[in-house]
Amino acid sequence: MEYRSRSIYKSTSIMISAILFLSLIHTSHCFYLPGVAPEDFQKGDPLKVKVNKLTSIKTQLPYSYYSLPFCSPKKIVDSAENLGEVLRGDRIENSPYVFKMREPQMCSVLCRITLDAKTAKQFKEKIDDEYRVNMILDNLPLVVPIRRLDQGSPTVYQLGYHVGLKGQYTGSKEEKIFIHNHLAFTVKYHKDPQTDSARIVGFEVKPYSIKHEYEGKWSENTRLTTCDPHTKRTVVNSNTPQEVEANKEIIFTYDVEYQESDVKWASRWDAYLLMSDDQIHWFSIVNSLMIVLFLSGMVAMIMLRTLYRDISKYNELETQEEAQEETGWKLVHGDVFRPPSNSDLLCVYVGTGIQFLGMVLVTMIFAVFGFLSPSNRGGLMTAMLLLWVFMGIFAGYASSRLYKMFKGTEWKKISLKTACLFPGIAFVIFFVLNALIWGQKSSGAVPFGTMFALVVMWFGISVPLVFVGGYIGFKKPAIEDPVKTNKIPRQIPEQAWYMNPIFSILIGGILPFGAVFIELFFILTSIWLNQFYYIFGFLFLVFIILLITCAEITIVLCYFQLCSEDYLWWWRSYLTSGSSALYLFLYATFYFFTKLEITKLVSGMLYFGYMLIASYAFFVLTGTIGFYACFWFTRLIYSSVKID
């Protein structure tokens, strides 16, 4: 109950702080981004080592550090967490480790524990699931340096160290489980040449499993024979590992080494974000650009040659009888702007798509300029949530403008649907997934207080803004069609097999997906394999290419559809580019079975649940882009035709 009430208080304060920050930001002359301000340390200054969640790429279920019976301080204190950190499952707390700047330590004893059957089972389960311990020093995450075998290759850094490992004793086939109970920390610092102060630029560890030994009975002053600073004996290997079994004692120890580094504070994240696969990203860009150039050539051919010739020829016809003999897209001018079936739903989806487009664009711009760096932990998710909420005004405006064009009169109803349809579906899926995570007692479960804060943001800020946008949009004059609509609908002739709606829609989604699938691999890897993603420059380029590809493929297929005298383009234009979301979900399924090692049912449901939400959002975004491209295209070509 204490944790839950603390979570409610924390989540409410998070929401209030976020709103106050956004409202007061224009009055600030200068400010540091959270976690980005440098801190100078003198020799002997205490360094605060914090512990974060336990993570595993096999289960995708984070747990708090103290869910295992590790050594703990007298009082566990939570660090302030933002909304993004809570949703990510981060649980940052203090630790019993005592560091002093530039004062090395050898074989410091942290604590001694004796395992019972329950705690031994907990350790075994976490080690079997390959859980890692995450720590933080001066806002830098703890990493394990892994040197590659080939010479000249840069060192790879693994986030966090494994709780333990599995192995066998020499000459035995029985598999045992061992715990990493000795940590050799390395703190890298950059010294100011003019003063004696220094800044931390690296935080590394080498974990060992060692069965510590000592003489006599255990006391606070007991000296270990396996690791003793007085005799300069330290742990250098795991030849005598510490086994995890009930009724066995484990002694936790650590070393701290300080290394001066030439790396400056501003560049300390470079090693973490080392991108050794930039050639693949450039290949992704070139691949996407080739698709765009191909589609641009087709659109140019349609616009400059075919359409120009058709419009000129059509406008030169002397009589209406001659015009009636024409075939193709010109014949359906009296039906092309006829409101589609389920026009209300189309308006809702278009409005939601505009909301997504605004959120993604602004987020990308902030990320490209470095405002959402990994040092600002949870900042990306917090920014996306807040931007989604405040972009509600554009969603309401877009949906009501289109609704009024379809001769709709109940703008309040359409605004309510826009404010609730997508968030409602996403929230239901999220709530079910959260209940499953809660059942696993994972720290990834969003506390009730945070859930309440999300609902307040939704109904307290987003919904009113959607209504404000809807009111403004509905008060605007209705968009006039360039041609009049006939009272009696024209019969659509039988279509060729390749113009079948399902076939053309599925074909239309391939190219937009093809433009992003290489970058999608890196995004999925960063999310599900616990890696950093910080190549927002590449991502922004790919996103622009995605916008162009969605627009161009929809225009091309819409033109072919109208040439076949099929004027039902409204929904098909949305679904054509939106169908790329289907391929995204299929690729996510392929990625699950080929790249991930998830075996637990809850973890699998978690993966597919979140990827379903992501695919749904991608459908809404890409569908809206395709719709507006086709909307502009049809209005352009029919406004150029003279109709008597």
The yes-or-no verdict on residue 293 having pLDDT over 80 is: no
DSSP string, 363-387: HHHHHHTTTT-TTSTTHHHHHHHHH
The yes-or-no verdict on residue 431 having pLDDT over 70 is: yes
pLDDT tens sequence across 515-536:
888 888 888 888 888 777 767 7
Give CA–CA dist 227/218, Å, rounded. 15
pLDDT tens sequence across 300-351:
776 666 666 666 666 665 455 554 445 567 777 778 888 888 999 999 999 9
Give CA–CA dist 392/546, Å, rounded. 23
The yes-or-no verdict on residue 368 having pLDDT over 90 is: no
Q: Which of 204, 191, 110, 106 is nearest to 157 (CA)?
A: 204
pLDDT for the residue 591:
92
The yes-or-no verdict on residue 33 having pLDDT over 80 is: no
Rg (CA), the chain: 30
Q: Greater confidence, 209 or 23?
A: 209
Residue ranges of domains in the chain: 45-273, 341-480, 510-638
Give CA–CA dist 179/537, Å, rounded. 41
Q: Greater confidence, 501 or 627?
A: 627
Give CA–CA dist 231/508, Å, rounded. 72
Q: Greater confidence, 629 or 542?
A: 629
287-291, 488-492, 572-576, range with greatest mean pLDDT: 572-576
pLDDT for the residue 517:
82
> Could you identify the residue written with the tokens 């590809």?
549
The yes-or-no verdict on residue 506 having pLDDT over 50 is: yes
For 122-129, what is the mean pLDDT?
Answer: 91
Q: Please tell me what DSSP assigns to residue 63.
A: B
The yes-or-no verdict on residue 4 having pLDDT over 60 is: no
418 band by pLDDT with thresholds 50, 70 and 90: very high
pLDDT for the residue 31:
35
The yes-or-no verdict on residue 34 having pLDDT over 80 is: no
Q: Greater confidence, 409 or 620?
A: 620
For 393-419, what is the mean pLDDT?
Answer: 92
pLDDT for the residue 295:
73
Rounded to the nearest integer, the mean pLDDT of the chain is 82
The yes-or-no verdict on residue 272 having pLDDT over 70 is: yes
pLDDT for the residue 14:
42
Query: In the numeric block, which tokens belong to residue 450?
Result: 């945070």
Q: Please state the pTM of the whole predicted model.
A: 0.83
pLDDT for the residue 30:
36
For 222-235, what is the mean pLDDT?
Answer: 80
> Could you identify the residue written with the tokens 């979301």?
581
- Residue 257 contacts by C-beta under 8 Å, 6 or more apart in sequence? 104, 184, 185, 186, 187
284 band by pLDDT with thresholds 50, 70 and 90: low
Ranking 170-184, 215-229, 580-594, 613-627 by mean pLDDT, the lowest is 215-229
The yes-or-no verdict on residue 150 having pLDDT over 70 is: no
The yes-or-no verdict on residue 357 having pLDDT over 80 is: yes
The yes-or-no verdict on residue 543 having pLDDT over 70 is: yes
The yes-or-no verdict on residue 375 having pLDDT over 90 is: no
Alpha carbon 551 to its chain's center: 24
The yes-or-no verdict on residue 643 having pLDDT over 50 is: yes
Burial class (CB in 10 A: 0-12, 13-18, 19+), 277: exposed
Looking at the DSSP assignment, which residues form a beta bridge with residue 185?
205, 256
- Residue 544 contacts by C-beta under 8 Å, 6 or more apart in sequence? none
Ranking 3-7, 352-356, 508-512, 548-552 by mean pLDDT, the lowest is 3-7
152 band by pLDDT with thresholds 50, 70 and 90: low
The yes-or-no verdict on residue 80 having pLDDT over 50 is: yes
Tell me the helix, strand and coil percentages in the chain, rounded to 5.
50, 15, 35
Query: In the numeric block, which tokens belong to residue 201?
Result: 């630029």
The yes-or-no verdict on residue 400 having pLDDT over 90 is: yes
The β-bridge relationship of strands 156-159 and 93-100 is unpaired
For 245-260, what is the mean pLDDT?
Answer: 89
pLDDT tens sequence across 88-115:
778 888 899 989 998 898 888 888 888 8
For 566-573, what is the mean pLDDT?
Answer: 88
Q: ∠ CA 271-273-279 to the nearest 5 degrees?
A: 110
Q: Greater confidence, 317 or 399?
A: 399
The yes-or-no verdict on residue 19 having pLDDT over 80 is: no
Give CA–CA dist 358/388, Å, rounded. 8
pLDDT tens sequence across 469-498:
999 999 998 888 888 877 887 777 787 777
The yes-or-no verdict on residue 17 having pLDDT over 50 is: no
| Percentage of the residues of the chain whose pLDDT score is greater than 70 | 85
